[in-house]
Amino acid sequence: MNVIRFLHIIRCRRTLALLVAAFLFATLPSGARAQSGTSALQGRITDEQGGVLPGATVVLTSLATSAQRETVSGESGTYQFVAVSPGTYDLRVELSGFRAAVIEQIGLKVDSTSRADVTLMVGGLSEVVEVAAEVPVINTTDASLGNVISGTQIRELPLEGRNVVGLLSLQPGVTYIPVADPNDPDNMDPRYGAVSGSRADQSSATLDGIDVNDAENQSAFTSALRVTLDSVEEFRVTTSNYGADQGRSSGAQVSLVTRSGTNSFSGAGYWVNRDTRFSANEYFLKLSQLAADEPSEAPLLNKNIYGFSVGGPVKRDRLFFFFNFEGLDDERESVVSRDVPSDSFRDGVLMYQCANPAACPGGSVQGFTGSHQVAPGFYGMSPDDIRRVDPLHIGPNLAAMELFQQLPSSNESGNYPGNIDSFRFAAPLEKQFRTYVSRIDYKPGGAHSLFGRLNFQDDEDVDEPQFPDGSANSTSTTNNWGFAIGHDWVLGSNMINTLRYGYTLINQDELGLQTSNAITFRFIDDITDYSDSFGRELGTHNITNDFSWLLGQHTLKAGVNFRWIRNDNSTNENSFHTFNSNPSWVESVGRLYMPGGQCPAPADCSGLPAVSPDGESGYTDPFIHMLGVMSSTTSRYNYGIDGATLPIGDPVARLYAADEYDLYVQDSWQVRHNLTVSAGVRYSLYSPPYEANGVQVAPQPSMGEWFAERATNMLAGVPSSASPLVIFEPAGPKNNGRGFYDWDYNNFGPRVSAAWTPTEKTVVRGGYSLVYDRIGAGLATSFDADGSFGLSTLLTTPVNTVNETNPDARFQGLDVEPTQLLQPAPPGAFPQTPETGAGVITQSIDDTIVTPYSHVFNVVVGRDLGAGFGIEAAYVGRIGRNQLVRRDLAMPLNLVDPASGMDYFTAAGLLIDNSATGIDGMAPISYWENLFPGAAGGGLSATQAVADLYQAVSPDFITGLWLMDQFCDPACSRFGPFAYFAEQYDALSARSTIGRSEYHALQLSLTKRFSHGVQFHLNYTLSEAKDHASEAERGDDFDNAGAGGYSGFLVNTFEPDLNYSNSDYDVRHQLNFSWLTELPFGTGKAIGGDVGGPLNAIIGEWAMSGIFRWTSGYPFNVINCRSCWATNWNLQGNASLVDPGNLPPTGRTKDAVTGFPSPFENPEEAIGFFRRDLPGETGIRNLLRGDGYFGIDFSVSKSFTFPFGHRLRFRWDIFNLTNTPRFNVSDLDVLPDRAESFGRYNSTLATCDGAAGRCMQANLRYEW
């Protein structure tokens, strides 16, 4: 960004003086501890009567490197050291007339301020009073919430997956669920990593003060550079109300520090082994094995982690080094479930649930090759029955049957029991990771110290196959690397500067299997996965500079944090055409040719029992697949910015860039010795992401303004057709065009906090922060992939145009592409105008978005209980505004009739209610009479004619509106076609900053610092979180992971508050407990303290550690139904309650649905609590509760100490000690019209890499 332009922007905002001062202040010869991963120490020097002692010389000495810092106490007797490297120090205080005082072994923690007050006794300087430092157990300096995790805890606690950053979860307010791979960008679960009301993608991690986030995926609990247990000195997690010197995003701030060498050589070698023999079987795999009369056999889980670390002096007191290598060889099996045809279905038989169970006694039915059993209450259609119902009288598609025969037989019931079942198996995968971490520290003496850190990883990951004995779906390599260099400069006893520069590169390549166009069946897994290939090099340059100035009782800080992000990526994800058998795309969603339905000639449903309303999709979806109707074709064409067409299959390359600038100023004022007030402001200026080579387009007009105009016109009775057509033109700075959205220049984040210690052992803290979300990268890449018409153009077959009656649309084999269904490529060059009436469902970008922000506030009361115990109680609040929410900009209008003042939703609700007993004698409804006068005729009023149509399509009511609005069936409105629907889009997803959120919590912590062989942290959270949607930015355009049903998308765009309810991560109760314990046996211990020799080798040096986690239930939803759309064209919405406020009883019921567990006490009865939505309704959101999480991880270890500081240690870890399964509410079958499988859990929350219920590992470590 041009500096002159930047200053002009700031001048326009009347903040030039403030920000220029901050910049100059921060860029004096070079740190703030929060950004640079350093520590601080402060205190007060007094005499024995409590009088303050100014002018005392205070010297801080590192025990590791002998480096010293010196200052002088001020007029009030206070002293402070800032920007100190974390570690253990001695503090010496001298003043003429008093004895020297030495406080030994003060532990300074990363991004934390410690306190050490000193009382001097009268005497000579040659007399020395030595005392041991008392480690504070409560924060007495500011309002921030969070804890420091020491290197000992990192290495001693049983960490499943050895993910250091995952220790963030051991804080109050952090929502935790186990996942198989926290770095997986496909992990869209909004629950994973939400912290004190912030979204899962808003946590930020730094390593040695340098940004190590994945700017595109923004996954929680991860670092772009792998951080090994041995390479981390310690880290601090700040969950809420950090100062102005932190806050690259609005969530938790994680600061990690790499270990340094010391004046003594030290090192370690280690090996970790996880073996299948010590694993318990995964819950659902065990069910499928037993159902198939196979022995219960746990998935393969053989993991070996090995490495070494070494550090020491290159030149004593001056130059130090540290190096760590770690390797991982992982051969294991992942439990996967594939949807496959049942044995009867692939033999030409279709089963369905009968409306009248008495008419279907069960029995058997003859397929092509054999007889198949039919359960009571169901009917089995033979190939001849299917041939009669098929309007082309072809019957079961023989090519499809041949394909289905190649798939494995099912081993468990599926989503369409009896037709499409599941095949669950243990799929092999392999991982080989190599990690290298090195650091050099140089202390030339005097005022300067420098360091350099280099990380590199060399990874190969072979993914699971689609089916046993198949090729891996993908193979990926990852070669991330990064470096950091830092310079600390002590300008005097009251000034210090820290400068950091670093670069982090994410270098990934993934090779998938797709090399040709795809032919798929929507609800049956492909025999070979059409996995895409992609590569990316995402580099982040980061410069931070922080300056601290101690002026009397004030500590002034100012700093900058600049980041330049470049994402060079390519993918063939949208480079091939797709032919899909999609039941949603045929007329009436497959209900047209259904026994008990219309079944018009030449189809013949005579003699067949009617399909149950609760089992309609259990008939319609398999029926379309049985016929092999390829109803939905997506034609994909890619172009250059010059309009040149790229060949089909060629990858699409982009280079996205973003520039981010943060500045801050802050003052910490020690008003009194027991009262500290801090205030500051952070300013953030982030560019919209842009394509650096100019391969960028954007829609015109502004899509946010286009939607606002539609909404305004709607209320005035103006039809959608009055809105302008959307065109696409080159955009971005390279094309001298607008960005994806405008720069947001107003992101000022004030921070204020106070800490008061009314007594020596009690502290009251509180604060307020205005924090901003980090957005942009995910918006750009997702829009580019699916919404940039003219660059990546997706043309889909209009719905209801390829149906059961089209003989050319029948499947003929995977090697026969129905190319006649493809739409021709539009000509290149710009501007581009998407075709009208094409029924496109895609996404766009709302260029009116602004930066989301949150008000964060807390009040904390802490008490030092003595003996190393501390307790804190905190109220934490967060109010979010302008939150990113997905909505449909092209949603059909809730058009108002100007004459009657009635809107469509009201009129449609009246129509449906009044026609429930038939349309004869229905009173006219003014809305339909006024707007659809042409529908009247044949003895029916307009109201009756429309009611007749809505009865025919019920409960898919929006299809009735679609038929009228686009095909004038039975008539268009008086405005003509497209009065309700947009002319170019049937659905157009976009992320808009219109959401709100709220979080309120009581957070309790009880801490025991390490003493007498015991250390622990106990955290409890009682909280409530509400929002419009909880999705992370990286989710897909219509994605909805996390809470079953619909939660992450506004189904009714015009009434967003219908979605405002419990968040996906709303967990009422959370408890976590981590502990380290040395058993009291052996030399120096309470029991056997005098023993030695062989006996001590047996009973001494035993230790235990563990992690306990428990939460109450996570929320989930019930979908309106599989094949009914009441309000939104593309999203069914959630079901509504028959009796508002009366929810079905929930719990954990095993063997509830075809042998599977359920969150409902009685799934069959639970269906009766719900009804289908009426137009305008969206159903209930996140009011139901399923499983939470429960897990205990435990370790026991034995050490042997040898002379000269050598030690050998054995440790045994057990993960999920009690082998307790907890089921995943985001993997539920919640479709009421698939009653056979309704309410069924399909997976557990992942433990042991997602490969076992319980697993164990052995650890061997040698240290010197």
SS3 13: coil
| Rounded distance between C-alpha atoms, residue 1043 and residue 361, angstroms | 38
pLDDT category of residue 20 using cuts at 50, 70 and 90: very low
Average pLDDT over residues 842-859: 95
- Element (DSSP H or E) covering residue 17: helix 16-26
To 5 degrees, how large is the angle CA 974–CA 975–CA 978? Answer: 125
Compute the distance between CA of residue 141 and CA of residue 668 in angstroms, rounded to an integer.
9
Extract the tokens encoding 29: 């010869």
* DSSP at 1010: E
Strands 690-691 and 675-686: unpaired
- For 404, the 3-state DSSP assignment is helix
Q: Determine the pLDDT at residue 16.
A: 37
Q: Please tell me the distance from the alpha carbon of residue 1241 to that of residue 1231, in angstroms, as a whole number.
A: 12
d(CA 889, CA 981): 11
β-pairing verdict for 371-374 and 363-366: antiparallel
DSSP code, position 7: H
Dihedrals phi, psi of 934, to nearest 5 degrees: -70, -15
What mean pLDDT, rounded, does the chain reach?
92
DSSP 1052-1113: STT-GGGG-EE-TT--SEEEEEEEEEE-SBSTTSSBSTT--HHHHHHHSSEEEEEEEEEE-P
Q: Per-residue pLDDT tens for 679-721?
A: 999 999 999 999 999 999 999 999 999 999 999 999 999 999 9
Convert 576-619 into a string of H (helix), E (strand) and C (coil).
CCEEEECHHHCHHHHCCCCCCCCCCCCCCCCCCCCECHHHHHHH
b/e 76-105 (16+ beta carbons within 10 angstroms → b): ebbbbbbbbbbbebbbbbbbeebbbbbbee
Distance between CA atoms of residues 243 and 769, nearest Å:
8
DSSP, res 733: G
Contact between 1073 and 1191 (Cβ < 8 Å): no
Strands 1255-1263, 1206-1215: parallel, antiparallel or unpaired by DSSP?
A: antiparallel
Alpha-carbon span 1101 to 864, nearest angstrom: 30
Residue 132 has pLDDT above 70, yes or no: no
Say if residues 759 and 547 touch (Cβ distance below 8 Å).
no
**Domain 31-132 listed as CATH 2.60.40.3880:** no
| Mean pLDDT calculated for residue range 290-315 | 95
**pLDDT score of 377:** 97
In this prediction, residue 1036 carries a pLDDT of: 64
The token duo for 335 is: 């439990």
- pLDDT-derived band at 777 (thresholds 50, 70, 90) equals confident
Tell me how far apart the alpha carbons of residues 53 and 94 are, in angstroms, rounded to a whole number: 11
List pLDDT tens digits, range 1058-1110: 999 999 999 999 999 999 999 999 988 989 888 888 898 999 999 999 999 99
Neighbours of 544 (CB within 10 A): 29
- Nearest-angstrom CA–CA distance, 552 and 538: 45
Helices (H), 65-193: 151-156
The CA distance from 963 to 935, in Å, is 12
Q: How far apart are the first and last CA of the chain?
A: 51
Buried b (16+ CB within 10 A) or exposed e, 463-478: bbbbbeeeebbbbbeb
pLDDT tens digits for range 204-247: 999 999 999 999 988 877 899 999 999 999 888 889 989 999 88
Percent pLDDT > 70 in the chain is 95
User: Angle at the Cα of 731 (from 727 to 734), degrees rounded to 5?
Assistant: 155
8 Å CB contact between 982 and 976 = no
> How far, in Å, are 44, 158, 381, 1111 from residue 154 at the CA level?
33, 9, 61, 23
Query: Residue 10's pLDDT is what?
Result: 35
Q: How far is CA 1078 from CA 77, 1091, 1099, 1100, in A?
A: 40, 17, 12, 9
1261 has a pLDDT exceeding 50? yes
R_g of the chain computed on alpha carbons: 33
Q: Tell me, what's the pLDDT at 147? A: 83
Strands 869-888 and 1049-1050: parallel
In the numeric block, which tokens belong to residue 1172?
């289908």
Tokens of 732: 């971005």
Tokens of 783: 């829009």
pTM over 0.95: no
Q: How far apart are CA 582 and CA 1036, in angstroms?
A: 20
User: d(Cα 768, Cα 142) in Å, to the nearest integer?
Assistant: 11
| pLDDT per residue as tens digits for the range 1140-1198 | 999 999 999 988 898 899 999 999 999 999 999 999 999 999 999 999 999 999 999 99
* Residue 399 φ/ψ, nearest 5 degrees: -65, -40
pLDDT digits (tens, 9 = 90+) for 150-159: 888 888 999 8
Residue with tokens 């090099």: 537
- What tens digit of pLDDT does each residue of 595-621 get? 999 999 999 999 999 999 999 999 999
Spatial distance between the Cα atoms of 264 and 311, rounded to a whole number of angstroms: 8
The pLDDT confidence band at residue 129, using thresholds 50, 70 and 90, is confident
Closest CA to 871 of 1010, 1070, 1020, 1004: 1004
CB atoms within 10 A of CB 938: 9
DSSP state at residue 26? H
Compute the distance between CA of residue 425 and CA of residue 680 in angstroms, rounded to an integer. 56
The Cα–Cα gap between 865 and 1055 comes to 52
If we measure between CA atoms, which residue out of 1068, 1064, 1023 comes closest to residue 1044? 1064
Place of tokens 């020690």: 670
Contact call for residues 455 and 473 (beta carbons, < 8 A)? no
Q: Is 86 helix (H, G, I), strand (E, B) or coil?
A: coil
- Other C-beta atoms closer than 10 Å to the C-beta of 271 total 15
pLDDT given at position 141: 84
Pairing mode of beta strands 100-108, 128-132 = parallel
- Determine phi and psi for 110, rounding to 5 degrees: -60, 140
Q: With 90 as the cut, is the pLDDT of residue 169 above it? A: no
Domain boundaries along the sequence of the chain: 31-132, 339-421+577-635, 904-979
Tokens (6 digits) for 1041: 């992971």
Rounded to whole angstroms, the Cα distance separating 423 from 406 reads: 13
Percent of the chain with pLDDT over 90: 77
DSSP secondary structure string for all residues of 59-76: EEEETTT--EEEEE--TT
Give pLDDT tens digits for 464-485: 999 999 999 999 999 999 999 9
- Are 93 and 58 in contact by the 8 Å Cβ rule? The answer is yes
Residues 244/245/246/249 CA torsion (nearest 10 deg): 60
- How many residues are recorded in the chain? 1264
Residue with tokens 């410069």: 543
pLDDT of 666 > 70? The answer is: yes
User: pLDDT digits over 798-817, tens only?
Assistant: 999 999 999 999 999 999 99
In angstroms, the Cα distances linking 194 to 213, 800, 938, 1031 are 16, 41, 59, 10
Q: How many CB atoms lie within 10 A of CB 267?
A: 16
- Mapping DSSP onto H, E and C, the string for 918-975 reads CCCCCCCCHHHHHHCHHHCECCECHHHHHHHHHHHHCCCHHHHHHHHHHHCCCCCCCC
DSSP codes, 356-372? SGGG---EEEE-SSSEE
CA 992 to mean position of chain CA atoms: 18
DSSP H helices, 394-484, are 398-405
